[in-house]
Amino acid sequence: MLVWQAATRAMNPTVPQSLIDSATEEDPSAAAAEYGAQFRVDVESFVAREVIDAATVAGRHELPPVEGVNYVAFCDPSGGSADSMTLAIAHRDSDGRGILDAVREVRPPFSPEQVVEDFAALLKTYRLFRVEGDRYAGEWPRERFSEAGVSYALAERPKSDLYREALPLLNSGRVELLDHPRLAAQLAGLERRTARGGKDSIDHRPGSHDDLGNAAAGALVLAATEAAPALIRAADLLRNDKPVTLPKFAQAVFATLIIGDDGRAAVAYFASHAFLGVDVPAPLTLVDVTYEPLSGSSAPEMFTRLEELHRAIPRVIMHAAWVPRAYLQHAQLAGCDADEIPAEMLRDLPALALAAAGHVNAGRFKVGEGAAAKAHQLPLGGALTFRAGERIDDDPLRLAILMGIGLGLSPTDAFAAPAIPAARLAA
């Protein structure tokens, strides 16, 4: 066997030294490999194939949803022309291992809207109404998933960090992978590259793909770090496994409006029975929700809906609305007599979430039929069912509902609702 190793100019002196010098200045490691016949030291395999094979459960292609298990999901979106769009669902078992339950890959070309609908349907079978995903695609994944009834949260970790956090889970045998050849190949094909500044990046080889690997790593890392028990469970929002009917008696109907970073207004409508000595499903009921682009008619439409609810409930005393301070003047200029959401409530959102969870678990808050019917078009499930440590302020629908629970039920001074003006009392 003959092995010949020689630099470019040793083999071909006509190659300009200036070309080599320029390449060396731009990327020393790449130039040393290309022109100096040196093996690269800045690129290495990320994870051994033996580790991936050991984590793979032979013959397991998908696990069905199980009652009582807290699932998480990660999506790697795509526009439908170049890369695949992928989804992975995982959970953490009682021994602390990350279990990959399901993966989906749709290869281009495809309709992103149709893929989002299919992914949303799968998520709901696992009682998931929230998915975390890659930031690259801008706002369209959030909008499309929202229309399909699922909240899309932007991943806080970049792809390299997800892979970096997944590596010790793989090496220590703390994850179980599905028997999926493309997933295994993509994980085995990942490379760790060291940049000139010394920072590592982990990505697929040039010309290859890692869409499945990215989704699986994201779901497994989420399962390992964020699969905490739910603060609010979907079953606790129902009565006898069904949403409650529109009440016949109410002290008040009121609304809370929150504006998201995407320019959409989330409005939650409630019926409060807290001070009535009558038999009602719960002291507070979420009767309706809307989540639409903010416009000049948003405030008038909110008050129109409040008046409709006022008429629909035979015995109701008053109606009111609460909006953020920044929107208060606009609502008043539109002729709507709204109140400002108390600053105390916005100041301590984790406390607000815990208080709301306490009310739900005690049976003081239920979801009505009108609101439940919109769960297929709005990310209502993700807004209502969430875990400790999850952000609250990035989901306007969740924040509007929590504000309503705080205004309607919390007895503490911090969350006490301001007095409703007498002008809004029913005749």
pLDDT tens digit sequence for 230-250: 677 777 888 887 888 887 778
Q: What pLDDT score was predicted for residue 361?
A: 85
DSSP state of 245: P
Residue 426: per-residue pLDDT: 36
CA gap 34, 12 in Å, rounded: 13
On whether both 172 and 134 belong to a single domain, the answer is yes
Read off the tokens for 270. Answer: 């409630």
Q: Are residues 279 and 396 in the same domain?
A: yes
Task: Indicate the average pLDDT of the chain.
Answer: 82
Provide CB contacts within 8 A for 83, sequence distance 6+. 76, 108, 209, 211
Q: Mind listing the pLDDT tens digit for each residue in 183-234? A: 999 998 888 776 555 456 787 777 778 999 999 999 999 988 765 556 777 7
Inside any domain, residue 44? no
Residue 38 lies in a domain: no
| φ and ψ of 270, to 5 deg | -130, 155
323, 243: one domain: yes
The residue out of 187, 204, 226 marking a domain boundary is 226
Interhelix angle 112-125/140-147, rounded to 10 degrees, is 60
What is the pLDDT at residue 289? 93
| Residues 280 and 383 placed together within one structural domain of the fold | yes
Question: What H or E segment, with its residue span, contains residue 304?
Answer: helix 298-312
| Statement to judge: residues 221 and 238 lie in one domain | no
- With a cut of 70, which residues of the chain have pLDDT below it? 24-33, 38-45, 137-138, 194-200, 226-230, 274-281, 375-382, 385-391, 410-427
- pTM for this one? 0.57
Q: How many domains does the chain have?
A: 2
**pLDDT at position 412, please?**
43
Task: Give the pLDDT confidence score for residue 1 in this predicted structure.
Answer: 80
Output the pLDDT for position 301.
Answer: 93
Residue 55, domain CATH: 3.30.420.240
Reading the block at residue 232, the tokens are 């609010």
Question: Do the domain assignments include residue 35?
Answer: no
37 is a domain residue: no
Residues 149 and 203 in one domain: yes
Per-residue model confidence (pLDDT) at position 387: 64
249 and 171: one domain?
no
* Residue 215: predicted pLDDT: 95
Given 226, 246, 271, the domain boundary residue is: 226
Strand ranges across the sheet with 365-367: 339-340, 315-323, 249-259, 264-272, 284-293, 365-367
Q: How far apart, in whole angstroms, are the C-alpha atoms of residue 324 and residue 255?
A: 12
CA angle 119/122/123 to nearest 5° reads: 85
- Answer yes or no: are the C-beta atoms of 61 and 178 closer than 8 Å: yes
Q: What is the pLDDT of residue 200?
A: 67
The rounded distance, in Å, linking the Cα atoms of 74 and 100 is 11
Both 311 and 274 in one domain: the answer is yes
Residue 180's pLDDT is: 96
Range of the domain at 211: 49-226
390: domain CATH number? 3.30.420
- Same structural domain for residues 187 and 250? no
Tokens of residue 109, six digits? 């070309």
